[in-house]
Amino acid sequence: MDVSECNEASSFGGAADLGEVKQAHTGHKGCGTLGGRDKASCGSQARQGDLPPAIWEKVKSHPCYSEEAHHHYARMHVAVAPACNIQCNYCNRKYDCANESRPGVVSEKLTPEQAAKKVLAVASTIPQMTVLGIAGPGDPLANPKKTFKTFELVAKAAPDIKLCLSTNGLALPDHVDAIARLNIDHVTITITMIDPEIGAKIYPWIFYGHRRYTGVKAAKILTDRQLQGLEMLAERGILCKINSVMIPGINDQHLVDVNKAVKSRGAFLHNVMPLISAPQHGTVFGLNGQRGPTAQELKTLQDACEGEMNMMRHCRQCRADAVGLLGEDRGAEFTTEKIMAMDVNYDLETRKAYQAKVEEERAATVAAKQQKLADLAGETSDINLLVAVASKGSGLINEHFGHAKEFQVYELSTSGAKFVGHRRADPYCQGGYGEEGSLATIIRMINDCHAVFVAKIGGCPKSELIKAGIEPLDQYAHEFIEKSALAWFKSYLAKVQSGEIQHVERGDAAIRQGALISAA
């Protein structure tokens, strides 16, 4: 099964268009390698003007390929691919499960026809839904007939929706022509190693060529096929995102080599994700006590890889049937029973009009950030720090502290505000009262942050945060995230320079393992 966070693709038709994209992508060769303020902007943090026009059109409304877009646009996955051709020690596929948020988990398996109707129902209800991904719950290319049939039905009925595929890559070289023919312009490949000795510790077996292979031989076949498939896709101008699971003590240091290898073969974006290894998930790693990384371990590795290519840092490691904005799941609204009873009217013009308004909102967000960046232009300081933000989306500070299911984390410096990740949470408010255990967990999760921005916060959590050295900020409620964060950072620097406060480094933080999506 592929561990996609969110893995989707874009319809981009015509031989001339494909040639333009291929030429632009080949010339671009992934992401820039310059560091600091002059770094070539690419991948998830790219904006219009940073990329060739053909590539920008493919990523601008893709919430997984564009960090900026993920605040505004939604995605959905359909679970039509139950079979898998490899076994991963970090994976345990669960069907009929509604209370876990991680890859490989679904509530219902669908036929291609059911999936196509579900896409139309969701897209009619959520007009900012721009991307359909097939990411499992097994591997889409171990179920090629169901996968490609679903894409064909959706492309015919809803041609404006981007089509996206996520795979472990074992069968990828066999299906590159079909992927190109169906205009699947984004493919995610999960590559956790390029050294078979390391791979043998991650993959117990693969099934390839009607045979089962184990150990180093299995890992060698897998990595060879993954890298071959990546090269074939890049040659055709298809954007490729690489997902890698960070497993401390096994492949954490090795992922820097993986990063270099995939960049050299034309990968567009690299997503290093933390291992989810809670024992209750029933994975091999979970049951044998293999730990996941801490927040700072993950960030340090991502920073190291970013010297080679830009990283995706907004991945939510979502379910194989997720629906909605990244960080939310509206799947319960669209069960098979409900969608089969719906009279769906797919109105393309209404969707276009709604998305035009989304673009206006997005432009306002960018303009607000640029204004505050100009205010920082004269500042000179080597201070950089992290802050957490409670947000429901749209790039706004618009969530109550007690209701937050996640906190978005930004790194602030005189270069600006950079999104560096998110932290899952069990909401502090449970049925009208505060859960002290959840509060302690949240504080551990954002312990490396100097401040937390919220729309509203109660007295008790506010005092506990202050005790922990984290400043709670509700005065920026319903304002743009980056504009507010940079305004606060400028005032923070002024206080440090005047001697009113002393800047201190924060400690490490925990990464919450698989928060329940059903938490209220």
32 vs 321, higher pLDDT = 321
Q: What is the mean pLDDT of the chain?
A: 82
Flag whether 243 is in a domain. yes
Last-in-domain residue among 322, 341, 360 = 341
DSSP states of 48-100: TTTS-HHHHHHHTT-TTT-TTGGGT-EEEE---B---SEE-TT---BSS--S-
Mean pLDDT of 57-70: 74
Name the token pair of 102: 């991680």
**Whether residues 197 and 306 fall in one domain:** yes
**Whether residues 371 and 325 fall in one domain:** no
pTM of the model: 0.78
Flag whether 50 is in a domain. no
Flag whether 388 is in a domain. yes
Flag whether 35 is in a domain. no
Strands, E, within 135-195: which ranges? 162-167, 186-190
Flag whether 144 is in a domain. yes
pLDDT at 433: 52
pLDDT at 35 over 50: no
**Whether residues 184 and 325 fall in one domain:** yes
Q: For the chain, what is the domain count?
A: 2
pLDDT digits (tens, 9 = 90+) for 316-332: 777 778 787 776 677 77
Last-in-domain residue among 341, 357, 380 = 341
pLDDT digits (tens, 9 = 90+) for 332-386: 788 888 888 888 888 888 888 988 888 888 888 888 778 777 877 778 899 999 9
- Identify the weakest region by mean pLDDT among 87-96, 129-138, 405-414: 87-96
Flag whether 354 is in a domain. yes
Mean pLDDT of 470-485: 95
pLDDT at 98: 40
Backbone φ and ψ for 320, nearest 5 degrees, come out as -80, 0
pLDDT at 283: 86
Flag whether 47 is in a domain. no
Return left, alpha or beta for 365; rule: phi > 0 is left, psi -120 to 50 is alpha, else beta: alpha
| HSE-up of residue 302 (Cα within 13 Å, Cβ side) | 25
- Identify the weakest region by mean pLDDT among 167-181, 236-250, 366-380, 497-511: 366-380
**Whether residues 153 and 201 fall in one domain:** yes
pLDDT at 302 over 80: yes
Range of the domain at 453: 348-498
pLDDT digits (tens, 9 = 90+) for 388-424: 999 988 889 999 999 998 899 999 999 889 988 888 8
- Identify the weakest region by mean pLDDT among 33-47, 77-91, 151-165, 180-194: 33-47
pLDDT at 478: 95
**Whether residues 138 and 229 fall in one domain:** yes
**Whether residues 283 and 386 fall in one domain:** no
15 vs 55, higher pLDDT = 55
**Whether residues 332 and 392 fall in one domain:** no
Last-in-domain residue among 305, 323, 341 = 341
- Tell me the CATH number at 481: 3.30.420.130
Nearest to 48 by CA among 64, 66, 31: 66
pLDDT at 255: 96
- Taking the C-alpha atoms of residue 142 and residue 149, their distance in angstroms, rounded to an integer, is 14
**Whether residues 163 and 207 fall in one domain:** yes
Query: Which range, 10-14, 126-130, 265-269, has the best average confidence (pLDDT)?
Result: 265-269
- Identify the weakest region by mean pLDDT among 5-14, 92-101, 317-326: 5-14
pLDDT at 367: 82
pLDDT at 169: 96
pLDDT at 20: 40
**Whether residues 329 and 360 fall in one domain:** no
Query: Which range, 95-99, 125-129, 219-223, 378-382, has the best average confidence (pLDDT)?
Result: 219-223
Mean pLDDT of 253-273: 93
**Whether residues 289 and 388 fall in one domain:** no
- Taking the C-alpha atoms of residue 170 and residue 190, their distance in angstroms, rounded to an integer, is 10
pLDDT digits (tens, 9 = 90+) for 424-462: 888 887 655 556 678 988 999 999 999 999 999 999 999
Mean pLDDT of 3-31: 37
pLDDT at 94: 52
Flag whether 120 is in a domain. yes
**Whether residues 382 and 234 fall in one domain:** no
Q: How confident is the model at residue 4 (pLDDT cuts 50, 70, 90)?
A: very low
Residue 159, preceding peptide bond in cis (omega within 30° of 0): no
* Residue 286 Cα to chain centre, angstroms: 22
Name the token pair of 23: 């030429």
Percent of the chain with pLDDT over 70: 83
**Whether residues 245 and 394 fall in one domain:** no
- Tell me the CATH number at 276: 3.20.20.70
